[in-house]
Structure 1
């Protein structure tokens, strides 16, 4: 009941406030990815997560607490409200890889300013017990959040439109007051995660042991390419017959129909599951004795 009420309040605010690109997966989606990871890590890893979250005061962000995995998952978006203090992290939430060119992370990830590079950086910080405790707490929150971002397709693919932020769409009762990025960030994600069997436990209940094991495989680059393909084939592809064709300025606003939404919900749920299970794998690797993330980079698992 409380979550349904919260969703209705969020929907009301969405009707009143202009859409912005500030959040990814919004709180519900990020929290679901974090909770799936928390549910599936080893007991040792869960203990280490709890130990770090208890030190959240070290971040000195009282308006953006990290007491739970869900709060930690939202922290990197929450700190955007703190002005210039954390502005350096803004480009870390996405990687605008052109869906109409061969997949290549080099330009979007120049100088490490992209989500996949920051996932690797933060898992290394988390694994290194020599790093000051405050920085490891921040690394945990960033890692949890960025794994959610990586699995939000509009943070993985782009068509020279800021990851769909410039693509106005019509969606349900919201009508035309939103864009493709925001639909995937929140409205579609909220519906997909809450649809029965809902919540993280419900999403996991649909997966066999073999499914879960398969989802945990691959590298950060593999996961980046996967999200880029989903962006092209499903996010853009569900609305445009040719996602790479030029769109005239006077073209009708695309409509995300109920039929399209129904086809996309399984994609959303699978991405949330993948994000959580893969995050669990990285956390288990980071907190393991003799973590592989502390070995020379040529042996980097990604």
Structure 2
């Protein structure tokens, strides 16, 4: 399993994304692939035949890991002409200090889009292209939903500057981007991933599950992203910037690993239930 992880990190070393970096999305996809039934694997392979990239050109991609970041690619491509393209699709702004759900205008938020794209994926009356793109959306968005800050925010705190104590990092890093990138990379480095039979089991997929997953991730955001921040308390203004000390960084490791494993197992269950 370590060989697999090293391979993914090397293969995707230049990719980045706005929720889990490209390496994180690829890892979720690969771990989900391992948990698919033979029938679901065969359907995934068939759906990836003739895959197109964000420009509508043949991509040559034939593995789940390779298409896991396509939704970020198509968003960036479309935003060149339409800045609002796919706005809201990758997250839902639930406030961690509230039980109320964040807004989801016209059903365009991560949990509801997972449900609608899963319905398209499972519908054999849909075209090959529609089901191919639905597969790519589902693979990516299940990963996004499990990134805590995509399911739980506190005002605009996730967009405030964040510095990792004792670490070099990209200029302009925010609390959100640090969790997407630097903390994720630190969590997967040297990770001995559990064998398939040691990973968390999950209830069968149903359309009610994505919302449950999202609310669980919101609570993870409250308890693991925000609760450990210096100066954070519900009902109080958040600091203008955050210094994330070594203890905070170390505490993020098991959280990120747990979220990746949950995303992978839940994605596998969704695909196994939707493909035949």
TM range (shorter): 0.7 to 0.9
Distance change >3 Å, CA 176–CA 255, structure 1 → 2: farther
1:191 aligns with 186
2:202 and 2:265 in contact (8 A); partners too: no
Q: Which residue of 2 aligns with 1:270?
A: 258
TM-score by length of 1: 0.78
Residue in structure 2 matched with residue 286 of structure 1 by the alignment = 274
Q: Does 1:99 align with 2:89?
A: no
Question: For residues 14 and 52 of structure 2, what CA distance do their matches in structure 1 show?
Answer: 29
1:46 equivalent among 32, 41, 47:
41
Distance change in 2, residues 1:29/1:215 (3 Å): farther
> In structure 2, do the counterparts of structure 1 residues 110 and 26 end up closer, same or farther at CA, with 3 Å as the change threshold?
same
Equivalence for 1:19: none
User: Within 2, Cα distance between the matches of 1:57 and 1:9?
Assistant: 20
8 Å Cα contact 1:73-1:141 kept in structure 2? yes
Match of 1:169 in 2: 162
2:214 counterpart of 1:224:
yes
Alignment of 1:59-78 (within 5 A): 61-62=56-57, 66-78=61-73
Change (3 A) 1:57 1:102: closer
Do structure 1's residue 112 and structure 2's residue 97 form an aligned pair?
no
1:123 counterpart = 2:125? no
The residue that corresponds to 2:238 in the other structure is 247
The alpha-carbon deviation at position 137 of structure 1 amounts to 0.4
- The alpha-carbon deviation at position 157 of structure 1 amounts to 0.7
Higher helix share: 1
1:38-79 superposed Cα distances (whole Å, 9 cap, x missing partner): 110101000100111113139753386643211211100111
1:239 deviates by 1.1
Unmatched runs of 5 consecutive residues or more in structure 2: 1-5
1:214–1:128 Cα change, 3 Å: closer
SS of corresponding position for 1:56:
coil
Q: In 2 relative to 1, CA 241–49 (structure 1 residues): closer, same or farther, beyond 3 Å?
A: same
Cα RMSD over matched residues? 2.8
Give the conservation status (yes or no) of the 8 Å contact 2:114–2:142. Answer: yes
Note if contact 1:25-1:186 (Cα within 8 Å) is conserved in structure 2.
yes
User: Residues of 2 paired with 1:52 and 1:87: CA distance?
Assistant: 28
Distance 1:8 1:52 in 2: 26
Q: Is 1:169–1:180's contact at 8 Å kept on the other side of the alignment? A: yes
CA contact (8 A) 1:156 1:228 kept: yes
Question: Equivalents in 1 of 2:83, 2:134: separation in Å?
Answer: 13
Between the two proteins, the alignment pairs up a number of residues equal to 264
Runs (5+) with no aligned partner, structure 1: 15-21, 289-302
